[in-house]
Amino acid sequence: MDEVPLRGTHHVELWVGNAKQAAYYYRKAFGFSQIAYSGLETGNRENTSYVLEQGKIKLVLTTPLSSNNRITNHLRKHGDGVRDIAFHVDDVESCFKTVVENGAEPLAGPHELVGEHGIVAKATIKTYGDVVHSFICDENYDGVFIPGFREDSETEYSFGFKFIDHIVGNVEKGQMNHWAGFYADVLGFTQLIHFTDKDISTKYSALMSKVMQNSNKYIKFPINEPADGLNKSQIQEFLDYYGGPGSQHIALLTDDIVHTCTQMRNAGVEFLEIPDAYYDVLKERVGDIEEDIEILRQLGILVDRAGEGYLLQLFTKPVQDRPTLFYEIIQRKGSDGFGQGNFQALFDSIEHEQGLRGNL
Ligand code: FE2
């Protein structure tokens, strides 16, 4: 029996230095629509938040309004980053009770947020680093987002993103098993894949990863830790600049990656560059695919065949000045993998960037 039934991801909240400008970036560069706002005008004296939506994805961008604020301390330590990966549940109380019994560290017990459009129940626990998981039930609420937010109706548009495919956590060396165990023991997740440093290593940089998923498979959390290489692991670079563990990348699923990436490139989003040689041997490596390889080459889209089909993916450069959080754009055509066949090309590219930053 599923002890902690999670319907899926309710939203992801990022704490950022300038939410107004970040919201503009995610609207113009990622195709999100701004649907809700909370700030001084809504009686929120602590912080300003913008809710952005695309498909089933909701991103909340929050910035503090004073220096005497817990969010300010988080920003000083981490820079911009993921604070809350919130789960959509039917029963906040029973989920919270179970996860705490299972060993979760509580941050906020079950409570109700009340507004003119109804009630939302919420509780929050801690996970790796300063990242938290909220449990949210909004079945008795018919307003926009949650109480405390007003509707912000911007003309709706979209680059084609449907939902969050997975969110990767980077933890310290030796901590991967602990946090994979946390998701298994506390939240009832199962292990989907285990990549060792044999699978994921380049000349310099190495990592290990375990992919954990919930029972309905809507939530997937790969957990990475740095492994020994000749030089600094890309995971260690993240940990150094983020000031500890945190969410490394959010993978957003689209069903038309060529369209989505064309829009993003036109909007100026920077992606990891893939050497031309990758495409010269692509057909040989993955066989027949529906897409035109020349177009994939122009857009820098990677392909990997695994399981029943193949997947297409590419990765942005970090979306803030610290080399920390970035995004993956992914389209699945019958493959439930994570692009293992692309690790070598990708990490060569990541290491090239790391070298330019003087961190290799
Ligand atoms: Fe990924």
Mean pLDDT taken over the chain: 94
pLDDT at 204 over 70: no
Query: What is the model's pLDDT at position 276?
Result: 86
Identify any residues that bridge with 253 across adjacent strands, giving them in sequence order: 163, 330
Average of pLDDT values for 123-133? 98
The H or E element that residue 352 is part of is: helix 343-356
Q: Please tell me the distance between residue 100's alpha carbon and the centre of ligand 1 in angstroms.
A: 29
Measured CA to CA, the distance from residue 252 to residue 167 in angstroms comes to 9
Phi, psi dihedrals of residue 244, rounded to the nearest 5°: 125, -175
CA dihedral 116, 120, 121, 125 (to 10 degrees): -120
Q: Please tell me the distance between residue 211's alpha carbon and the centre of ligand 1 in angstroms.
A: 10
Percent of the chain topping pLDDT 90: 81
* Confidence at 235, pLDDT banded by 50, 70, 90: very high
Q: Please tell me the distance between residue 263's alpha carbon and the centre of ligand 1 in angstroms.
A: 21
* Confidence at 201, pLDDT banded by 50, 70, 90: low
Average of pLDDT values for 182-191? 97
Query: What is the model's pLDDT at position 203?
Result: 60
Q: Please tell me the distance between residue 99's alpha carbon and the centre of ligand 1 in angstroms.
A: 26
User: Residue 31 burial by CB count (10 A; 0-12/13-18/19+): exposed, middle or buried?
Assistant: buried
Q: Please tell me the distance between residue 338's alpha carbon and the centre of ligand 1 in angstroms.
A: 6
Task: Identify which of 340, 133, 82, 351 has the alpha carbon closest to the alpha carbon of residue 235.
Answer: 351
- Report pLDDT digits (tens) over 136-186: 999 999 999 999 999 997 767 799 999 999 999 999 999 999 999 999 999
Q: Please tell me the distance between residue 8's alpha carbon and the centre of ligand 1 in angstroms.
A: 18
* Confidence at 202, pLDDT banded by 50, 70, 90: low
pLDDT at 231 over 80: no
Q: Among the listed ranges 40-49, 63-72, 279-288, 315-324, which one has the minimum average pLDDT value?
A: 279-288
Query: What is the model's pLDDT at position 351?
Result: 81
Domain boundaries along the sequence of the chain: 8-154, 161-357
Average of pLDDT values for 98-120? 97
Average of pLDDT values for 40-59? 97
pLDDT at 221 over 70: yes
Secondary structure of residue 204 in the 3-state scheme: coil
Measured CA to CA, the distance from residue 211 to residue 317 in angstroms comes to 22
Q: Please tell me the distance between residue 165's alpha carbon and the centre of ligand 1 in angstroms.
A: 8
Q: Please tell me the distance between residue 252's alpha carbon and the centre of ligand 1 in angstroms.
A: 9
Task: Give ion ligand 1 contacts, CB < 5 A.
Answer: 251, 328
Q: Please tell me the distance between residue 272's alpha carbon and the centre of ligand 1 in angstroms.
A: 13
Q: Please tell me the distance between residue 166's alpha carbon and the centre of ligand 1 in angstroms.
A: 7
Measured CA to CA, the distance from residue 69 to residue 66 in angstroms comes to 6
Q: Please tell me the distance between residue 62's alpha carbon and the centre of ligand 1 in angstroms.
A: 24
Average of pLDDT values for 116-137? 98
Average of pLDDT values for 96-107? 98
Percent of the chain topping pLDDT 70: 97
User: pTM of the predicted model, to two decimals?
Assistant: 0.96
pLDDT at 250 over 60: yes
Q: Please tell me the distance between residue 343's alpha carbon and the centre of ligand 1 in angstroms.
A: 10
Report the 10 Å Cβ neighbour count for 327: 21
CATH fold label, 161-357:
2,3-Dihydroxybiphenyl 1,2-Dioxygenase; domain 1 (3.10.180)
- Report pLDDT digits (tens) over 273-309: 888 889 988 999 899 999 999 999 999 999 999 888 9
Strands 150-151 and 33-38: antiparallel
- The reply to whether domains 8-154 and 161-357 share a CATH topology is yes
CATH fold label, 8-154:
2,3-Dihydroxybiphenyl 1,2-Dioxygenase; domain 1 (3.10.180)
More confident residue, 91 or 208: 91
User: Residue 91 burial by CB count (10 A; 0-12/13-18/19+): exposed, middle or buried?
Assistant: middle
